[in-house]
């Protein structure tokens, strides 16, 4: 039993005078949320209608317009491009794959899972390349991801985790442990996610796609004689193919999956001397090797942004406003203090949350029913930047009936999104146990806590992040 709290646990979270909680996210702090594009004006017909102007919807529209300029494509968005998970994340483009690889391998074969992992690595380069090609001012830097163990148990797990991942598509040159016991992968980049979302919306418009903002979809009708339809207060959109890419904000009438809110914090800008003391030029991203890992990046204006912990059930945070609960802010600050003790006194300037899709099996979802003409995509958890790009290209090939490697990747279906009550409870209990395991392992010199072993039984590897 732990008798004494750590220094970080006893200290109040340092906050700046201008501390802000919510307001969508830090990425909107300076420029504010954009003016909405025009709403839909009356009934309309298209070849493809995408509901949701997040990364999945925008990448899908982008690649469809690029592949077939004659295709009539529309994007319908309730708020504005980048309002949802796209504008609330950390801007980390990583090859991380959520979900239990073993289960997908049983369904589709290990080779298919490895192919998906390799596709995610390539997607990191693809996202950066498109940003450069379209002249999007995202500040993209591909510096890789370095994971550092902060205690004995983490060191043991990190070495084992790297060896395990090298059996699932990360070859030794893609992920390895260096001489200091830190894991590194070059397949990661960071950028400004809001500028990417805004830039992609402008790029798809240049490609002939119509983007309607401030247009909520109030009902979804499956395919009939005239194809599926998205009903809005301003008119009905009919299309041969209707893609639902709303993730944490499902359209009424569409099948919804479980969501959770993920929190983040950003500090005030650090002085250059403090960055030098930390020993980090900011080009690479950082993470720890906890059961519930935290990740950090250096923002273009010199702040530390930390996320990863503090995930809550959908009802645990204000998903629309982006308000982070005090306990999530405190947990993230403790992670920051543990990873960068030199920066523990830097005030927190901004905190926020965003809802993300969290399927029961944690495997990304992509389906397109040819009979109804309705497709659904999402469910990436915290790791949607590269996944959404792969999904967008896969939907392009699926809609255009191309026989490519992408359409053979092992995506999950809607059945995998369903989460029985007992399974949801088990996952929540597992999170609490992992939290306790991380605390115990910080204060001891032995291996993995038994709490983590119990948590693993309640929620298999990859499903409780």
Pick the range with the lowest mean pLDDT from 47-51, 86-90, 210-214, 318-322.
Answer: 318-322
Quote the percentage of the chain above a pLDDT of 70. 82
Pick the range with the lowest mean pLDDT from 85-89, 208-212, 395-399, 440-444.
Answer: 440-444
Q: Per-residue pLDDT averaged across 207-221, rounded?
A: 96
Q: Per-residue confidence at 153, pLDDT binned at 50, 70, 90?
A: confident
Report the half-sphere exposure of 353 (CA within 13 A, side-chain side): 30
Does residue 148 surpass a pLDDT of 60?
yes
Predicted structure pTM score: 0.88
Q: Per-residue pLDDT averaged across 90-117, rounded?
A: 91
Does residue 400 surpass a pLDDT of 70?
yes
* Contacts for 135 with CB less than 8 Å, ≥ 6 apart: none
Give the CATH architecture of domain 34-140+188-256+363-419. 3-Layer(bba) Sandwich (3.50)
Most confident of 56-70, 137-151, 276-290: 56-70
Does residue 363 surpass a pLDDT of 90?
no
Give the residue with greater pLDDT, 180 vs 9: 180
pLDDT of amino acid 1:
35
Each residue of 32-65: pLDDT tens digit? 899 999 999 999 999 999 999 999 999 999 999 9
Quote the percentage of the chain above a pLDDT of 90. 63
pLDDT of amino acid 447:
61
**C-alpha 455: how far from chain center:** 23
Does residue 441 surpass a pLDDT of 70?
no
């Amino acid at each position: 039993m732990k008798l004494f709290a750590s220094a970080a646990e006893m200290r109040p979270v340092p906050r700046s005078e201008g501390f802000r909680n919510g307001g969508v996210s830090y990425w909107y702090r300076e420029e504010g949320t954009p003016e909405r594009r025009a709403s839909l004006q009356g009934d309309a017909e298209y070849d493809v209608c995408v509901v949701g102007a997040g990364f999945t919807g925008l990448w899908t529209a982008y690649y469809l317009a690029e592949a077939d300029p004659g295709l009539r494509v529309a994007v319908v968005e309730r708020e504005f491009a980048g309002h949802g998970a796209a504008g609330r994340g950390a801007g980390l483009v990583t090859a991380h794959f959520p979900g239990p690889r073993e289960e997908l391998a049983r369904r589709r074969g290990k080779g298919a899972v490895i192919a998906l992992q390799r596709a995610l690595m390539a997607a990191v380069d693809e996202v950066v390349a498109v940003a450069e090609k379209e002249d999007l001012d995202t500040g993209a830097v591909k510096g890789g991801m370095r994971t550092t163990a902060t205690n004995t148990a983490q060191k043991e797990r990190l070495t084992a985790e790297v060896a395990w991942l090298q059996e699932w598509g990360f070859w030794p040159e893609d992920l390895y442990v260096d001489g200091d016991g830190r894991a590194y992968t070059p397949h990661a980049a960071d950028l400004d996610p809001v500028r990417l979302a805004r830039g992609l919306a402008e790029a798809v418009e240049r490609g002939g796609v119509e983007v309607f903002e401030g247009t909520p979809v109030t009902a979804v009708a499956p395919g009939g004689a005239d194809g599926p339809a998205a009903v809005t207060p301003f008119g009905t959109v009919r299309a041969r193919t209707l893609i639902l890419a709303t993730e944490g904000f499902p359209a009424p009438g569409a099948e919804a999956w479980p969501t959770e809110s993920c929190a983040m914090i950003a500090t005030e800008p650090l002085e250059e001397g403090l960055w030098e003391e930390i020993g980090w030029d900011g080009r690479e991203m950082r993470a720890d090797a906890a059961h519930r890992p935290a990740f950090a990046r250096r923002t273009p204006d010199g702040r530390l942004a930390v996320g990863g912990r503090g995930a809550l059930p959908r009802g645990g945070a204000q998903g629309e406003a982006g308000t982070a609960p005090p306990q999530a802010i405190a947990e993230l600050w403790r992670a920051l203090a543990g990873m960068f003790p030199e920066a523990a006194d830097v005030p927190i300037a901004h905190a926020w949350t965003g809802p993300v899709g969290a399927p029961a099996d944690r495997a990304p979802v992509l389906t397109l029913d040819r009979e109804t003409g309705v497709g659904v995509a999402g469910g990436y958890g915290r790791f949607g930047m590269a996944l959404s790009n792969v999904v967008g290209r896969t939907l392009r090939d699926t809609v255009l009936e191309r026989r490519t490697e992408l359409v053979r990747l092992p995506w999950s279906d809607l059945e995998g999104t369903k989460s029985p009550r007992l399974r949801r409870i088990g996952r929540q209990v597992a999170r609490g146990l992992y939290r306790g395991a991380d605390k115990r392992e910080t204060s001891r010199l032995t291996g993995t806590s038994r709490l983590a072993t119990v948590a693993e039984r309640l929620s298999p590897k990859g499903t409780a992040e």
